[in-house]
């Protein structure tokens, strides 16, 4: 006949002690978040959706260098650079990002692309609601990523600020659009060829 090592009082108290944890938790304030009715407030340096920034006059900061794409460990960024011309200028430098895409089905929001960007063209916002119903809609294009125009900005393409060069832009000397600055007409390669032939 085997003897139990537990006294009979302990056999009764063990389940009661287990319920003690339950009873303590019953009277605590609940931590339920009422999302999406109540929006979550993120930390100021939260890594959310990317944004392509502009200079104060409206020209794009992205120079199409592709360093962000090289730095991305998830291979989520695709950039195609193109040359600026005097008739069609998108950024103050020689080149601009003609095609810019970020695939949020792959992006891990690590921020390495931000650190790689030499012109601070790419930053991250606090927007975190990136879910969607199709894979195609998770590929954000340049139009979706480019920051909106603020007061005093002129949409690119347009000429650089008179009397300034690209170094002045990167030093922060351009603070507003030049008076009389107008948006240039974007010309496709086919239209440019027709104009040359004419």
Cα 58 from Cα 152, distance rounded (Å): 8
Please name the residues in contact with 108: beta carbons below 8 A apart, sequence gap of 6 or more.
73, 74, 76
Question: Residues 129, 53: contact at Cβ < 8 Å?
Answer: no
pLDDT value of position 180: 81
Question: Residues 169, 89: contact at Cβ < 8 Å?
Answer: no
Cα 58 from Cα 92, distance rounded (Å): 10
Give pLDDT tens digits for 95-123: 999 999 999 999 999 999 999 999 999 99
Over residues 119-146, the mean pLDDT reads 93
Give pLDDT tens digits for 26-83: 888 877 778 888 888 888 888 999 999 999 999 999 999 999 999 999 999 999 999 9
Over residues 147-167, the mean pLDDT reads 90
Range scoring the smallest mean pLDDT among 9-18, 94-103, 152-161: 9-18
Cα 103 from Cα 79, distance rounded (Å): 12
Cα 43 from Cα 58, distance rounded (Å): 28
pLDDT value of position 45: 87
**Res. 1 pLDDT band, cuts 50 70 90:** very low
Tell me which of 23 and 79 has the higher pLDDT. 79
pLDDT value of position 91: 93
Cα 133 from Cα 57, distance rounded (Å): 37
Please name the residues in contact with 88: beta carbons below 8 A apart, sequence gap of 6 or more.
157, 184, 185, 186, 187
Q: Residue 12: pLDDT above 70?
A: no
Cis? peptide before 36, omega within 30° of 0: yes
pLDDT value of position 193: 67
pLDDT above 90 covers a percentage of the chain that reads 53
Cα 22 from Cα 86, distance rounded (Å): 73
Q: Residue 3: pLDDT above 60?
A: no
Q: Three-state SS for 51?
A: strand
Average pLDDT of the chain to the nearest whole number: 87
Question: Residues 76, 110: contact at Cβ < 8 Å?
Answer: no
Cα 104 from Cα 77, distance rounded (Å): 9
**Domains of the chain with bracketed CATH:** 57-173 (3.30.70.3270)
**Res. 90 pLDDT band, cuts 50 70 90:** very high
Q: Residue 4: pLDDT above 60?
A: no
Burial group, residue 136, by CB count within 10 angstroms (0-12, 13-18, 19+): exposed
């Amino acid at each position: 006949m085997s003897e139990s090592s537990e006294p009979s009082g302990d056999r009764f108290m063990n389940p009661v002690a287990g319920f003690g944890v339950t009873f303590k938790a019953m009277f605590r304030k609940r931590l339920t978040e009422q999302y999406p009715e109540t929006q979550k407030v993120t930390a100021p340096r939260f890594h959310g959706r990317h944004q392509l920034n502009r200079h104060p006059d409206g020209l794009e900061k992205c120079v199409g260098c592709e360093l962000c794409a090289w730095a991305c460990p998830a291979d989520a960024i695709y950039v195609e650079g193109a040359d600026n011309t005097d008739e069609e200028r998108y950024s103050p430098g020689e080149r601009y990002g003609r095609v810019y895409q970020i695939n949020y089905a792959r992006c891990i929001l690590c921020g390495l692309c931000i650190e790689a960007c030499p012109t601070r063209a790419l930053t991250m916002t606090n927007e975190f609601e990136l879910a969607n119903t199709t894979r195609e809609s998770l590929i954000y294009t340049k139009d979706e990523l480019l920051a909106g125009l603020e007061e005093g900005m002129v949409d690119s393409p347009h000429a650089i600020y008179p009397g300034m060069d690209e170094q002045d832009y990167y030093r922060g000397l351009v603070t507003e659009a030049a008076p009389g600055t107008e948006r240039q007409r974007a010309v496709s390669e086919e239209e440019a060829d027709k104009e040359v032939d004419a």
